[in-house]
Chain A
Amino acid sequence: MKFDTPATTNPIDRLKVVGRPTSRIDGPLKTTGTAPYAYERHDVVANQAYGYAVGSTIAKGRIASMDVKAAEAAPGVLAVVTAGNAGPLAKADRNIATLLGGPQIEHYHQAIALVVAESFEQARAAAALIRVDYTRADGAFDLERAREGVTGPSKDDPDSTLGDFAGAFAAAPIQLDATYRTPDQSHAMMEPHATIAAWRGDQLTVWTSNQMIDWATTDLAKTLGIPKEKVHVVSPFVGGGFGGKLFLRADTLLAALGARATGRPVKVALPRPLIMNNTTHRPATIQRIRIGATPDGRITAIGHESWSGNLPDGKPENAVDQTRLLYAAPNRLTGTRLAVLDLPEGNAMRAPGEAPGLMALEIAMDEMAEKLGLDPVEFRIRNDTQVDPEKPDRPFSQRQLVECLRLGAERFGWSRRSAQPARNRDGRWLVGTGVAAAFRNNLLTPSAARVRLDKHGMVAVETDMTDIGTGSYTILAQTAAEMMGVGLDKVVVRLGDSKFPVSAGSGGQWGANNSTAGVYAACVKLREAVAQKLGFNSADAVFSDGVVRSGNRSAPLAQAAGDPGLAAEDAIEYGDLGKRYQQSTFGAHFVEVGVDAATAEIRVRRMLAVCAAGRILNPLSARSQVIGAMTMGVGAALMEELAVDTRAGFFVNHDLAGYEVPVHADIPHQEVIFLDETDPISSPMKAKGVGELGLCGVGAAIANAIHNATGARVRDYPITLDKLLDRMPEVG
């Protein structure tokens, strides 16, 4: 189905199932520990051997020699796989560094070997017997230092400009020129990257944990140099990804190689201490923001440059994109500056670009409001735009940022805030509130699905879409139930299998809108097949309560299926609506913090998010997406930082003890409000994504609240108490 004109009324608008708060249909499995994750698939293949991955202990250089004899001779060991004996391997386009290193080493903890043994304990013990001599090469690991050598844009990413930024900024009566820093961050999903691989002849099956089934299938085939049709990828449950499982990673490749070497199914989970340096991370940024405004608070010039580093051929962290779209200004400059660093591969983590970008921009907006003596909510409202500022003939499909800010301010009690910092005391706590805008684009990508109807009236949805905790199972079931006019108990959803039609997959908050639209398209086709089978006119057939009605005729849905059943497959594909309209999601975050007057300990006391993100397909799981993102935003603001050893070139705190993420005690009760919105420009579902919006801006709202509480402006995340201590106000 080609979606090239705005949606009109369709069966989804009945909202009998879609749009209602619905408990997850996979809930009973997940809460009883019976949802099967990759490493624990004892049910799929017998005689599984255990693989244990070994990582490089240098960041850059060569393996001079590697002695695996002791490991090979250790009890229970079946094989030791290295680049030297694995056979030729290609590198897929979506991987920046090779997944099995050697002799060349591109980053610390790059996998260099897999030990396969009869038991996990034997594989782990034998892995420790491998002796490696490295020839170390000098590398660049320090973004601060590398930044000095990068003054302009890279060839692939030219600056975006409008008007005369330099002149307008210089002439602006009120100016801000400030630099902000965000650290390297790790996805730290709870389920380690894990795969079971088994060969049957030249056919490879992997049970794995991956957000993008078709990417994994394509890239595993390419890496191994075998036809894509020979690779079967299965990933029905994913224990968190956040972008870390978008790509083929070492666990999958190593399991496949281990299984080929031993003739046995092999299972591999990346050990937790290996994950943060072996896989991808969100790169650190240094962001310079300049804003010029008139005394009445109109922005005349806005500039945002962001420095980040990556391995050769890597991409920059695009922290400036939202600045092209969020506020009006006639003179604009945005651009990325990319340095080569020999740290592990930088890549997408939840809301790549916007998450670190808004952490900086939305502090800058707070600082500017302070300079102007304007309320920060009002300052943002005053600079709203309903069109793409760089292309004024291109409107936003929907843009309710102002409504989010106004409603949030009212519900949060914003009017009680003291504009003067450090004026609000509650016992030992200095209390402050902060606000930030949330912004994240709505991305359109094709998505296919197959829908089957059987003689019992059961509807089965099959698509390679994944559920990474986002609630895909449930919203796809809701979509099929609404379209076919049946209850949720009549729908089965099968996901995460490369034998199913290729979906949008999970990433970039594009999953919900695109994958449900794909199921919508397949259901339209199935409805036509049903009507035809019943001899009804498909245009006026109504599907409701398990019955199909047309004029004064009606028949049970199941009757149309008959013994052989009916199946339909289709995909949603998009025309140019994404070009003619700017499609984005909006929100406003409000946060109250307490800062201990003596110790500068920071506690988040209240959080509210107001979101405008099109039709909310399942308010229960969408709310969970937002509160989860708000929680990740607390981590980004207050604790998360991969500490870089700039001499040895690796992330030092590479486990869940050293890399601190929020725990229960860090998170208060959280409130979420969704504005009533439908976006007929986005898809027949009239929905947009929400899973990343909830993270965008949270960090800055917290930073602004800390400033309001203490008067101290910290521009260097995470905001830990040591950065506040010598700047705390004198209090009695």
Chain B
Amino acid sequence: MQNPGDLELTRRGVLMGSAAAVALTTGPFTEPAHAAAKRQEPILSTVSFTVNGKPRRLELDTRTTLLDALRDHLHVTGPKKGCDHGQCGACTVLVAGRRINACLTLAVMHEGDSVTTIEGLGLPDGLHPMQAAFVKHDGYQCGYCTPGQICSAVAVLDEIKAGIPSHASTDLTTPPQATAAELRERMSGNICRCGAYSNIVDAITEVAGRQA
């Protein structure tokens, strides 16, 4: 699809937007008019981690989740906020290669970590094989859960390769395989209300077969 004008996004654009955000959000807070109420100034803390291979340093309200740090401070908006409570999986990112719900972890807990978001897997001009498989199998509809589904899918195949068992594993003594039952069990933390599950499993299965 040709990007409709203002929707044009490049890797460079994503990165440039990020620098501006940091400046904006660490600016001075305006003094409230009503001084009688008990004040609770935010506690700020600095944190450094890499996002999609690029070093990042932020000064943040310690209440800021990793998800909001990415989306609102770094303008890395691929990870989605569906529920903010770890219920839907739309915010799934990879930290040190393992998938986590970015809404359930505070940004300041990730000093020194390496964070990979959907943008880090691939952009429109160079899709990751899992992204290409989702397009081919139509493994999405509205697209909102999709970044989380794809990050999860990539991590799931790594987990299977590493021999990590799941509830669907019939036997703990033999390495798990990327069967449909294993994939469905392991992907069940990522809700797709559009109901693309059958196609998503087809997409992951194709990538798993290619990897094997």
Residues of A bordering B, CB below 8 Å: 23-37, 39-40, 42-44, 46-47, 69-70, 72-78, 118-122, 125, 129, 187-192, 236-242, 269, 271-273, 458, 468-471, 473, 477, 491-494, 620-621, 623-625, 627-632, 655-657, 661-665, 667-670
Contact = CB atoms under 8 A, between A and B. Distances in A.
Contacts of B189: 663
Given A44-B6, A662-B197, A667-B195, A121 B42 contact: yes
B15 interface: no
B72 A120 contact: yes
B185 interface: yes
Contacts of B135: 23-24, 27-28, 31
B124 A492 contact: no
Given A33-B117, A42-B75, A624-B199, A76 B42 contact: yes
Contact of B141 (A75, A187, A470): A470
A627 B198 CA distance: 8
Contacts of B212: none
Contacts of A473: 1
Contacts of A23: 135-136, 138
A272 B32 contact: no
Most B CB within 10 A of own CB, among A189, A238, A242: A189
B80 A191 contact: yes
A33 B39 CA distance: 38
A36 B145 CA distance: 13
Interface of B: 1-7, 9, 14, 17, 21, 24-25, 27, 29-30, 32-42, 61, 63-64, 68, 71-72, 75, 77-85, 87-88, 90, 117-119, 121-124, 127, 131-132, 134-136, 138, 140-147, 150, 168, 180, 183-185, 187-201
B1 A28 contact: yes
B31 to A, nearest CB: 9
A664 B124 contact: no
A33 B119 contact: yes
A494 B199 contact: no
A40 B76 CA distance: 9
B41 A627 contact: no
Most A CB within 10 A of own CB, among B35, B88, B193: B193
Nearest to B21: A42
Contacts of A494: 4-5
A32 B195 contact: no
Nearest to A630: B195
Contacts of A655: 83, 85, 87
A198 to B, nearest CB: 14
A624 B21 contact: no
B37 A469 contact: no
Contacts of B21: 42
A120 B63 CA distance: 10
Contact of B37 (A74, A120, A623): A74
A662 B127 contact: no
Contact of A656 (B1, B191, B194): B191
Most B CB within 10 A of own CB, among A39, A121, A273, A470: A121
A30 B143 contact: yes
A40 B119 contact: no
B32 A629 contact: no
A40 B40 contact: no
A236 B117 CA distance: 23
A624 B196 contact: yes
A437 B149 CA distance: 33
Given A119-B25, A120-B68, A667-B197, A31 B41 contact: no
29 contacts: A23-B138, A27-B140, A31-B146, A33-B78, A33-B146, A35-B143, A74-B32, A78-B30, A119-B64, A120-B68, A120-B72, A125-B63, A187-B193, A188-B193, A189-B142, A190-B142, A471-B141, A477-B1, A624-B138, A628-B196, A631-B195, A631-B198, A656-B83, A661-B193, A663-B187, A663-B197, A664-B187, A664-B188, A667-B198
B79 A33 contact: yes
Given A272-B84, A670-B198, A34 B119 contact: yes
Contacts of B81: 39, 192, 269
Contacts of A665: 168, 184-185, 188
A274 to B, nearest CB: 11
Given A29-B124, A492-B2, A190 B145 contact: yes
A33 B118 contact: yes
B84 A271 contact: yes
Given A240-B194, A272-B87, A469-B194, A26 B72 contact: no
A236 B4 contact: yes
Contacts of A33: 77-80, 117-119, 146-147
A620 B9 CA distance: 26
A628 B63 CA distance: 37
B113 to A, nearest CB: 19
A656 B85 contact: yes
A491 B121 CA distance: 28
A122 B101 CA distance: 22
Contact of B42 (A119, A492, A621): A119
Given A40-B71, A237-B143, A493-B1, A190 B131 contact: no
